[in-house]
Amino acid sequence: MENSVLSPVAVQTINLTRHFGDKVAVDQLNLAVAEGEFFGFLGPNGAGKSTTINMLVGLLRPTAGTALIHGVDIWEQPLQAKQQIGVLPEGLNLYERLTAREFIRFAGTMYGLPADLVEERTTELLQLMDLEDDADKLIVDYSTGMRKKTALGAAIIHSPRILFLDEPFEGIDAISGRAIRSVLRQLRTRGTTIFFSSHILEVVERLCTRVAVINDGRLVAEGSMTELREKAHAGADATLEDLFIRAVGASVEETGGLSWLQES
Amino acid sequence: MAAGVLTEERQRPGRLRTLLSLRARLTWRQYTGERGRIVAVLLILIIMLPLTLGLGVASAIGYLRLPEPLPATLLAVVLAGLWVAWIIIPLTAFSLNEGMDMTRLLIYPLSRRELTGAMLLGTLFDPPTYFMLPLFLAIVVGWAASPALLVLVPALLIAYVLMILTSQIVITMLGGVLTSRRFRDVFVAVSAILGMSCYFIQRGFAALISRFVEPDEITSLQLLPSLRWLPPGSMAQAIVSAADGDWGTALLWLGYGLLWLLLLAWVWWQLSTRLITGGGFLLKGRPRARQEERARPRGASRSYGWLPADLQQLMAKELRLIWRTPQRRIGFLQGFLFPLLMGGYALIGSGLPQEVPPWIGLFLPIFALFSAWIAGQNGLGMEGKGLPFVLLTPVSRRRFWLAKGIVLFVLTSAPALLVGLALLAIQPSWQSVAGLLSVPGIVLITLGISNLGSIFFPYPVQTEGRQIRSNARGGCISGLGNGVLMPTVIGLACLPPALFLAGGQLLSTPWLGLVGGLFSLVYGAAIFVWPGVVVAGRLLLQREAELVAATSPLQGG
């Protein structure tokens, strides 16, 4: 993980807030992700990560605050903002009765790519994602990994300037994981901003240039690994997992473990 | 130490009780999981309970009052019928009742005896067991007065176990197929077509019987000699022989039934062993890789250059979703099949063409209206899981509605147009021409207003099960909106063209009806384009987040 030089802001939230009844899922979140950054967005279960991403991509209306995509308010000018982003949502919103080939082709056309380019990229994506042999099967019959790769293909077919990934490595095998990582590295090389949420901290540590940690809807830590270590007064050998646990204020030891597994 | 604990736990007697309680709970929750399902269960109870009780009473009277040899025939038919029912019912309920799926228990250290006991005793929690109870009681009532009483109890017990064993063999053998999407799709299609054409099947069946069986022969109908070779049929023969005092033959047939029981138990045991030891179900359904290969060609999609590419893709998506979602496909096919079946039956059965009143053509728009209303309802919910994806893209929301509208327009107006053309061919009249002209307009009006309804009254639907299931989250307002308000608005919007048609008929002025037909086309197109595409597109853009939340659950985290 390295500290990136600050470039124009690609994603910005200003006091972004979301309430579900009495529960405050996201509380006045202020984030700024620079263009070209590989930004890790971390938090324990129920911290508000998916809620934040859904508000950033226009799927969940904020109770208050602003979400900007390259300076465009996604809630004011949704189509202009959506033209610039690709999304791999946690719930994998796919048309299950389409095949992967049909779905990726459909996605390319929806983003306004010309037909020949759609065909070319669809074929290439299917090859890269190792979906060629199953490209003409219905998505409803796919495994989780295949669905994820299909959704990723649909999210990047138009070369988005910003890619939002919500748990891209959850439930997939090592081979699929490697394929996805390779695609993400390529995107990063060509300057795509990646907003990345994951529970797999080793991957985040390996891929991300900067990290934000959210807990109970509030931003509790933000910065590069070096900055996080400095803020936490941790040694150079502190891993992201150590820093994460310190940031959200929990440890396995604190819970006391299981009574029947403790030695008498 | 650990192994000792495990052995000790394996022998604990409470485990069978736990398995049975699990089965009871799962069966109960199968019916109480959703509000809609409770209503369905109550409806089933209201229909099935009197039906089975009535069948029980009728068969008991039949055993006691019918002249020879009909009681024996009736007994054989009842036992064979129950046997067939026990084969079919698990096929229809397997994916609904998790309790029937033994593979879910295989990860636990359960003995084969426990699994077997749980499966056999678990049938006591299946509603079909209780639906057949009146028929078993009727057999006891009908035959207990005869000397057959001694044979009756073992014969009925053997018949019951034979039924359960056969149904378990079917489940154990076909489990892999029963849980497959392909089976579910085929089941949906077959049951919908059977449901729609049951009247015609019943007519055909009656015609077959009247053709091959003379009325005199019915009173001397003997099916027992054929049915007694089937497992439960043999028990009917044992009871009948015992009632005749022919104890030797009765015992022979009991023995024959026991042989069946042993054979089926052995087969079931083998299949269960295969399942328990990791061999899987005997039939697993077609391997996934082969499932779609034959039907779906690879390569580039067909392009229609005169249409914008995004509109083409949206239309293709709509068509594919309709065709590949069995419930929706059947819904549309029914639109085509129903007039065909009705017309075919009318033509063959009663020489209807000469009797067709000319004003019937004026009802064509109503037929089209109903088709379009059903098809156009909850257009966003019908997108299922895919809706958020489309809304994540910058595609024109007007195009979204336009594509949907074009596809639904073609599919819903085509059946009415076909019927109209048939009417014109059979008996040309100005009413048929006016009705035919009005169909496209009425469909456009209905679809245009339904698009607004889809935005104001959305509800989530699940299209992966055997029915398209709406979720209770849709709520009362959505129900009232879709069930009351939208039909009213559609009705009011259709009033102007309807007045033209009615005026033409009532005032005997055909030109008024014909002008009405043409007017409805222009008027319908205007309603479809303005509120149905332009306004609906704008509203969709404004309410996307709320509509996603209303039609598909979003997970926070």
In one letter, which amino acid is A18? Answer: R
Q: How many CB pairs under 8 A join A and B?
A: 146
Residue B458 lies in a domain: yes
> Could you tell me if B378 and B525 lie in one domain?
yes
- Report helix, strand or coil for A211: strand
Is residue B281 one of the residues assigned to a domain? no
- The DSSP annotation for A69-117 comes to ETTEETTTSHHHHHTTEEEE-TT----TTSBHHHHHHHHHHHTT--HHH
Strands A162-166 vs A193-197: parallel, antiparallel or unpaired = parallel
Chain A residue numbers with beta carbons less than 8 Å from the beta carbon of B325 are 97
Instruction: Map tokens 């035959």 to a residue.
Output: B143
For chain A, the average pLDDT equals 88
d(CA B320, CA B395): 19
Q: Which of A27, A80, A97 to substitute to test the interface with B, most B CBs within 10 Å?
A: A97
Task: Inform me whether the C-beta atom of residue B307 falls under 8 Å from chain A C-beta atoms.
Answer: no
Are B545 and A107 within 8 A, CB to CB? no
Residue A220 has a pLDDT of: 92
From chain B, pick out residues whose CB is under 8 angstroms from the CB of A83. Answer: 394
Neighbours of B28 (CB within 10 A): 12
- Mean pLDDT, chain A cut into blocks of 10 residues (264 residues total): 63 95 93 94 91 92 95 92 91 85 91 92 92 90 89 93 91 82 88 91 89 93 89 83 83 65 66
Residue of A nearest to B297 (CA): A136
- B322 plus B185 within the same structural domain: no
Helix (H, G, I), strand (E, B) or coil at B277: coil
Within 8 A of A110 by CB-CB distance, chain B residues are 310, 313-314, 390, 393-395
Residue B287 belongs to some domain of the structure? no
Q: Collect all residues of chain A within an 8 Å Cβ-Cβ radius of residue B284.
A: none
Q: From B157, B139, B160, select the one nearest B148 (Cα to Cα).
A: B139
Q: How far apart are CA B164 and CA B169, in angstroms?
A: 9
Q: Nearest CA to B451 among B332, B534, B543, B335?
A: B534
Closest residue to A137, CB basis, from B292, B383, B464: B292
Rounded-to-integer distance, Cα B235 and Cα B241, Å: 10
Domain-embedded: residue B290: no
Q: List the domain range (segments joined by +) for residue B326.
A: 310-551
On whether residue B12 sits in a domain, the answer given is no
Q: Are B368 and B416 in contact (CB under 8 A)?
A: yes
- Shared domain for B255 and B391, answered yes or no, is no
Q: Is B393 at the interface with chain A, CB within 8 A?
A: yes
Give me the number of domains chain B comprises.
2
What is the pLDDT at residue A217?
93
Mutate to test the interface with A, among B288, B318, B393, B551 (most CBs of A within 10 A): B393
Widest CA span of chain A, in angstroms?
70
Alpha-carbon gap: A17 to the closest alpha carbon of chain B (Å)? 13
DSSP letter at A173 equals -
How close A236 gets to chain B, by Cα (Å)? 31
Question: Cβ of B544 under 8 Å from any chain A Cβ?
Answer: yes
What's the pLDDT at B483? 87
Which chain A residues are Cβ-neighbours of B303 within 8 angstroms? 115
The alpha carbon of residue A51 is apart from the nearest alpha carbon of chain B, in Å, by 5
Q: B389–A95: do the CB atoms touch at under 8 Å?
A: yes
Contact (CB, 8 A) for A65 and A17: yes
The amino acid at residue B166 is T
Are B292 and A106 a contacting pair at CB < 8 A? no
Residues of A in contact with B385 (CB under 8 A): 91-96
* pLDDT at B426 (0 to 100): 78
- Structural domain contains residue B10: no
Same domain, residue pair B516 and B405: yes
Candidate from B303, B544, B556 with C-beta closest to A115: B303
Indicate if B259 and B334 belong to the same structural domain: no
3-class DSSP state of A225: helix
Residue ending a domain, choose from B276, B299, B334: B276
Write down the residue that tokens 């053998």 correspond to.
B173
One domain for residues B383 and B243: no
Cβ of A49 within 8 Å of Cβ of B557? The answer is yes
Does the residue B292 lie in any domain? no
Retrieve residue A122's tokens. 């669809």
Residue type, A191: G
A138 chain-B contacts, CB cut-off 8 A? 292, 324
The whole-angstrom distance between A103's CA and the closest CA on chain B is 9
Interface-testing mutation among A22, A45, A55, A59, with chain B (most B C-beta atoms within 10 A): A59
- CB-nearest partner of A82 from B292, B392, B464: B392
Structure token digits, residue B146: 């005869």
Please work out, in degrees rounded to the nearest 5, the angle formed at the alpha carbon of residue B205 by the alpha carbons of B203 and B210: 95
For the record, the structure tokens of B33 come out as 């999981």
pLDDT at B438: 94
How far apart, in whole angstroms, are the C-alpha atoms of residue A142 and residue A100? Answer: 9
A91–B292 CB contact, under 8 Å = no
Are residues B254 and B382 both part of a single domain?
Answer: no
Q: Verify that B270 and B319 share a domain, yes or no.
A: no
Closest CA to A6 of A203, A231, A210: A210
Distance from CA of B311 to the nearest CA of A (A): 9
- The residue from B228, B259, B276 where one domain ends is B276
Tell me, yes or no, whether B263 and B341 share the same domain.
no
Question: What single-letter DSSP state applies at residue B172?
Answer: H
- Give the residue from A70, A83, A72, A85 showing the smallest Cα distance to A33: A70
Amino acid identity of residue A75, one-letter, is W
User: CA angle at residue B91 from B88 to B97, to 5 degrees?
Assistant: 125
Q: Which of A50, A95, A118 sits opposite B386 (nearest CB)?
A: A95
B20 exposure class (CB count in 10 Å sphere: 0-12, 13-18, 19+):
middle
Per-residue pLDDT of chain B in tens (557 residues, 90 and over written 9):
344 444 444 445 577 777 787 777 777 776 665 555 666 677 777 877 888 889 889 988 888 888 877 888 888 888 888 888 888 876 765 555 556 666 566 556 667 677 777 777 777 777 777 778 888 899 888 888 777 778 888 888 899 888 888 887 887 777 666 666 677 677 766 766 666 666 666 666 666 666 666 666 666 667 778 888 888 888 888 888 888 888 888 899 999 999 999 998 888 878 776 766 655 555 555 444 444 444 444 444 555 667 899 999 999 999 999 888 877 887 787 777 777 766 666 655 554 555 678 888 889 999 999 999 999 999 999 888 889 999 999 999 999 999 999 999 999 999 899 888 888 887 788 999 999 999 999 999 999 999 999 999 998 887 655 455 555 455 678 888 888 999 999 999 999 999 999 999 999 899 998 999 899 999 999 999 999 999 999 999 999 999 998 887 544 44
| The length of chain B, given as a count of residues | 557
- pLDDT value for B532: 95
User: Residues B91, B208: one domain?
Assistant: yes
Residue of A nearest to B309 (CA): A109
Cross-chain Cβ contact A97/B320 below 8 Å: yes
Residues B443 and B358 in one domain: yes
Q: Is residue B219 part of a domain?
A: yes
Q: Of B384, B401, B509, which is closest to residue B458 (Cα–Cα)?
A: B384
Do the Cβ atoms of A118 and A157 come closer than 8 Å? Answer: yes
- Shared domain for B314 and B270, answered yes or no, is no
Last residue of a domain, one of B276, B293, B323: B276
Q: What is the Cα–Cα distance from A128 to A131, expressed in whole angstroms?
A: 8
